[in-house]
Structure 1
Amino acid sequence: MEGFEKIDLDTAQPVVEVKKGEAKQMAHKRNRFKKFTTSKKGKVLISLILIFLLFAIFGVALPARAVYKSAQKTMAQAKIAADALKKQNVELASVELVKAKQNLEVTQKDLNRMGYLGYVPFANAYYNDAVHLISAGSYGLDASIIMVNSVKPYADVLGLKGQGSFVSGSAENRVQTAVKTMGKITPKIDEIAIKLSNAKKEVDNVDPNRYPSFLVGKKIRENLDMARSLTDQGVAFVDEAKPLIKVLPEILGEPKEKKYLVLFQNDKELRSTGGFITAYSVFRFDRGIIHVDTSGDIYTLDATVPNKPVAPKPILKYLANVPRLNLRDTNLSPDFVVSMEEFNKLYAKSPGPKVDGIIAVDTQALVSAMNILGDVQVNGTKFTTKIDPRCDCPQVIYMLEVFSDKPVQGTRENRKGIIGELMYAIMEKAFSSSPKLYWGPLFQEMLKQTAQKHILFYSYNTDAQLGFESLNASGRIMRAEGDYFHINESNFGGAKSNMFVSEAVDQNYEVKSDGEITKTVTITYKNPYAPSDCNLERGNLCLNAVLRNWFRIYVPKGSQLISSLGSEAKVTSYDELDKTVFEGFLTVRPRGSAKFTLTYKLPFKLEKTSPLPLLIQKQPGTAGFTYTINAGGKSLEKFDLLTDKEFRLVFPR
């Protein structure tokens, strides 16, 4: 038919010929392979391959699987021990830490069976990393076991879970026995320091850059970086705290009693180090037992100081009718130790007793102790922490203000001495309470109050002071890598208005393409409460008045002011405490608000892909202002500033 080509069936023949050709070639190859495998060289090569496979299975894969399984078991046990430590159960932690150490020893034995990998190129680096990390873990567990066993005898005194060694006798006898025996266990801190130092050396031998920055390698690098950071911090902390721990019995009056000047700072009238210095007491420590030798009004002590110097410029400018520097106004520096050095210059001129250090306490520390111990009676007056509608604050705060500041007919001797008597009554109640029920929560709460800077320490013993500073318990302005931020405010003549004013701080970063950083800070103040009747003739208590706020903002040294808005005085810039300071002044009225905005350029540039370290330091006495940190229109952090905080900010690109 037309349109169709005839199919030539003869074309199948050449195809058959091609297939036969391929078959011949395959047969030839099989013959060659057979000859090779039966030859001497072939047998040797096959034997080597089989040996390699057997080695890979029995020499690497199975031992590696055993190491992995035992390592998983060790990690699980370590988490159990860590959980016991978090719950402050030293008895359980002691047992679980020993189990974790035993499991780690099994892991180490399993790893040792693969020791030949230490001689294999490329593989030896990773094998040695595993050896170093297991050794670091062993040293770390040893340090933890020593620490827990050292603390166990004091479990009941410190309020930890466990059976302490001083469970019998009066509360005072328990404390005295604990302090007296403390010297026997303080040398253990040297053992802990050595173990942690060895752990650090082992971790430092591992190079995180050996692992890829993707997939599993990324997680390994992150964990190694974290381990290195934790060991560095642990070693630094123990080295710095070691002097304090060793002299702790001496600080507590063993064997010779010590005296400390206790300053009461009224945070409702905020000053640089936490509050207006309103009263003082002299505490005597005798083998851990606290005695109050004297207490009084700071104005009474001020009256004994002759030849006072002229008041500094901020006081002359913002605090009316105060031409001379008084003890009560010496805490102008945001650094507590620097302020107390100024305080001591005047105190040395007074007839006050010689002391071994200074402890500052604010109202929040008193209230927190009473929240645990309950109501306290002083000279027929009942003090409670229940909210008083007259100030929307704890009743104890209102009553202290009544005793301290409410106008009365005639004179009332030592009217602010009630504060010292209240502190003594709180201590008496603590010692007469059940250690098992109250001492633990009270001890933990005092640690918390110290971390939040409601209790500050300045010891004249150099070793002790270094220890307090390592614990961040001395209100120091700290050095910082990268960015730094600290707001410091003083209420100059604004009654007790800090009780009613809230603050919110917004920080916004702008990073240019060349890494230049511009920062805008906005501080918003609000006082929603009605003003007090501050007419002295009517004899009312003046609490809520116009806040007269002298403020300073501490930033990295070399920062440059770009603009500011909201200060009622010209914003000035200067360097202090190795920082650049922006200083201003504003007022906040009852049922009013105020806002201050500051824009400045940081003195360094940010490298691409690098995070920005940031340290924000809290002012003592403040209750936790709300902070937000933003960049590129995105929120990076939001928190209440209760303690100093460190960040590594990663900016959107």
Structure 2
Amino acid sequence: MPGGRRHERAARKRGIGALIGWVIAGFVVAVVCAGVYVGMLALDARDQLQASAGELARVQSSLTASDADHALTTAKDAASSVSASTHRAQSDTHNAVWRAAELLPLLGGNLVAMREASDVAVDASDHAVAPLATLAGHLTPADFTPKGARVDTPVIGSAAGTLSLVSAALGRASSDADAIKASGAIGPVRDAVVTLRTQLHTASEEADAAHRAAKLLPDMLGARGPRDYLLLFQNNAETRSTGGIPGALAVVHVDNGQITLTRQASAAEFGGAADATSILPKSTVALYGDLPGRYMQDVTLPPQFALSGQLARTLWQQATGQQVDGVISVDPIALSYLLKATGPVRVPTGETLTAQNAVKVLLSDSYAKYPVAQQDAFFAGAATSVFRAVTGGSASPSTMLSALARAAGEGRILVWSAHQNEQSSIAETSLAGNLPTSDDGSPRFGVYLNDATGAKMDYYLRATVAVGRAVCRADGKATLAVAVTLTNTAPKDAATSLPAYVTGGGVFGVAPGNVATQIAVYAPQRAAWLGTTVGGENVTAKAAVDGGRAVSRYTMQLAPGESKTVRFDFLADAVGTQTSASGVDRSSGSSSAAMAVVPRELAGNGVDLGVFSGRNDASSAKGISAFVTPLVQGISQKGLSVDCNAAIP
């Protein structure tokens, strides 16, 4: 019996052990199966999201199709596919097994990110893509561009409501995508989230621009009554903060979408008889004097185009008696972009302007070919010819809109409206020509150049701007630095080979062939100027506060072939912080050992500065960057290494 009981107990133990073994094995199999299942769901979700991206491209292309019926059918079909794919991806990632797997270490964060990404995609599909598809066949790029010097304002206005919904939905989806925590995810998941963010940022910006255009254009083009606009043709051969001297002027009359060029003039005709100095803020006068309020050629000395627009409107009204509804600025580089859409344009004097030669012909060749007395007639003829080509209707609509977007992004097209409700909307776009605004972790400088030669030598001016930051102080406040390198590329014999009208002939104290430039650096909000150096040595520079920003200005003169770098240092988040400032211009009322402090009432809301990202793009959403006066040639930007041993304390 004892032996039988021992065998019974042993058998029972073996049975329990086997049961435990089977339970463990079953659990492992279940986990493996669940893992395989989740993996299959993840792959399917990925495939569905990728498929939706491809269908979204079809929706976008349908909006530019010329065949209205085909465009509408294609858009609706593609939108339906986008909806099906995104909803299937959402269903995959909201599965009960998936949600349970989100609790697992290491893997869980990746699954959460994918689920949140699918939710964002569904939101964008349901509330942006589907409404957008209804516009296909009804609204195309051609509706935003003139035909026979007329824009169909009712068609544009009718899309404003839908575009408002689309813009709001994409803005919300873009914000939600930014909130997805993917920094610790595996590469494929992280990359997918980054791609989603990029696509939504781009789509959100484009939808916002389309909505603003549909909302603003009808009224601005005279849908509710005639309008008149003053056009400033900024000449980059003689730089001003927002591009160049407004040498040629024109008035455009619009009435219910019909566009007419009614008058042309030269800024030189106005002299200094008019007076708009009462508009100038004291901070502007401290930096630029009262010239912007007296001479049309100098209204763009300050970098805020809203101020330039008001000054130009007032000077024009005093000189002509005509009150315009707004001011629009364009430069020859922007015209060259538009010529890609219109094709070559022949001007009355016989020249043919193309996208390739327009800048050289307008800003260089014309001065060598025509006496001063004939130059105004040449520019007027060129402006009329380009205006007719742009408004005639023969240009490629998509190429035209791309050209306008590029020019606006580079600050080469600027708009100010005298109607406050319109200006409020414009002020939130690159068309406004505002001082750069810093985002969280992304401080932005404004680097503005003004000609001090008194001539047209800036056709040969080249610029490189480097920006960087470092924490060099015990209080943890960052030192921000901007290095501006200018180069005079004029020929060695410029003094004799170029016309005196181009070199200035030494009239303003600058040797013929040399280029003199005033460089004004506007710091991010809440920053204070520390000092300005050339070759590591302190130099005298004007210190000021303008538009709530600390500003340092330095004048540089270069001989042909010469290049020189000046560096401006600022202290971030310096409200109420005392900083020793070297080389303060005594004309500003400060001694060389004065304190450069941003007053609290002018400091703005401030930013939380992040680490320099190494990006060179001035429009980058991350890192430190700068907007620079648009020159004849593009601006080169790069990172700057800030050495704390050499930094100004």
TM-score (norm 2): 0.73
Q: Which residue of 1 aligns with 2:165?
A: 191
Structure-to-structure mapping, 1:419-430, within 5 angstroms: 419-430=379-390
Q: Which residue of 2 aligns with 1:547?
A: 515
Q: Which residue of 2 aligns with 1:630?
A: 640
How far apart are the structure 1 equivalents of 2:40 and 2:458?
63
Q: Which residue of 1 aligns with 2:90?
A: 108
- Aligned residue for 2:562, secondary structure, equals strand
Q: Which residue of 2 aligns with 1:461?
A: 419
> Are the equivalent residues in 2 in contact too, given 1:533–1:542 (CA < 8 A)?
no
Provide, for residues 257-288 of structure 1, a one-character-per-residue CA deviation record: whole Å limited to 9, x for no partner: 32211111111111122111112111122343
Within the candidate set 343, 350, 354, 2:312 is matched to 343
Provide, for residues 85-112 of structure 1, a one-character-per-residue CA deviation record: whole Å limited to 9, x for no partner: 7878665676545323212222333445
The residue identity in structure 2 corresponding to 1:626 is S
Q: In terms of Rg, which structure is larger?
A: 1
Change (3 A) 1:574 1:139: same
The residue identity in structure 2 corresponding to 1:115 is A
> Are the equivalent residues in 2 in contact too, given 1:475–1:620 (CA < 8 A)?
no
Within the candidate set 38, 43, 47, 1:69 is matched to 43
Correspondence 1:147 to 2:129 = no
How far apart are the structure 2 equivalents of 1:622 and 1:539?
18
Structure-to-structure mapping, 1:131-280, within 5 angstroms: 131-142=115-126, 143-150=128-135, 152-155=137-140, 157=142, 171-172=147-148, 176=151, 178-196=152-170, 199=173, 203=177, 206=180, 208=181, 213=184, 216-217=185-186, 220=189, 242-280=211-249
> Are the equivalent residues in 2 in contact too, given 1:509–1:517 (CA < 8 A)?
yes
- Aligned residue for 2:557, secondary structure, equals strand
- Aligned residue for 2:626, secondary structure, equals strand
Q: What is the deviation of 1:360?
A: 0.4
Correspondence 1:416 to 2:381 = no
Residue segments in structure 1 that go unaligned for 5+ positions in a row: 1-27, 161-169, 634-653
> Are the equivalent residues in 1 in contact too, given 2:340–2:354 (CA < 8 A)?
yes
TM-score (norm 1): 0.72
Identity in percent: 15
How far apart are the structure 2 equivalents of 1:132 and 1:118?
12
The residue identity in structure 2 corresponding to 1:578 is G
Provide, for residues 179-216 of structure 1, a one-character-per-residue CA deviation record: whole Å limited to 9, x for no partner: 2222221101232144336536755775x2xx783xx5
What is the aligned residue count?
A: 574
> Are the equivalent residues in 2 in contact too, given 1:384–1:394 (CA < 8 A)?
no
> Are the equivalent residues in 1 in contact too, given 2:530–2:570 (CA < 8 A)?
yes
Q: What is the deviation of 1:358?
A: 0.8
Correspondence 1:525 to 2:487 = yes
> Are the equivalent residues in 2 in contact too, given 1:308–1:326 (CA < 8 A)?
no
How far apart are the structure 2 equivalents of 1:151 and 1:494?
52
Change (3 A) 1:592 1:459: same
Q: Which residue of 2 aligns with 1:504?
A: 464
Q: Which residue of 1 aligns with 2:624?
A: 614
Range 303-312 or range 329-338, more displaced: 303-312
- Aligned residue for 2:494, secondary structure, equals coil
Change (3 A) 1:97 1:604: same
> Are the equivalent residues in 1 in contact too, given 2:238–2:244 (CA < 8 A)?
yes
> Are the equivalent residues in 2 in contact too, given 1:260–1:283 (CA < 8 A)?
yes
How far apart are the structure 1 equivalents of 2:225 and 2:211?
21
The residue identity in structure 2 corresponding to 1:106 is R
The residue identity in structure 1 corresponding to 2:327 is I
How far apart are the structure 2 equivalents of 1:348 and 1:228?
47
Q: What is the deviation of 1:369?
A: 2.8
How far apart are the structure 1 equivalents of 2:320 and 2:452?
28
Within the candidate set 334, 345, 349, 1:365 is matched to 334
> Are the equivalent residues in 2 in contact too, given 1:362–1:454 (CA < 8 A)?
yes
The residue identity in structure 1 corresponding to 2:87 is E
How far apart are the structure 2 equivalents of 1:224 and 1:577?
38
Provide, for residues 283-331 of structure 1, a one-character-per-residue CA deviation record: whole Å limited to 9, x for no partner: 1223433211111112224476369789999999999x98982222222
Residue segments in structure 2 that go unaligned for 5+ positions in a row: 66-70, 506-511, 575-607, 614-621, 644-649
Change (3 A) 1:342 1:33: farther
> Are the equivalent residues in 2 in contact too, given 1:310–1:325 (CA < 8 A)?
no
Correspondence 1:488 to 2:471 = no
How far apart are the structure 1 equivalents of 2:154 and 2:541?
55
Q: What is the deviation of 1:562?
A: 3.8
- Aligned residue for 1:333, secondary structure, equals coil
What's the RMSD between the two structures over aligned residues?
4.8
Change (3 A) 1:374 1:190: closer
Q: What is the deviation of 1:492?
A: 3.1
Change (3 A) 1:118 1:370: closer
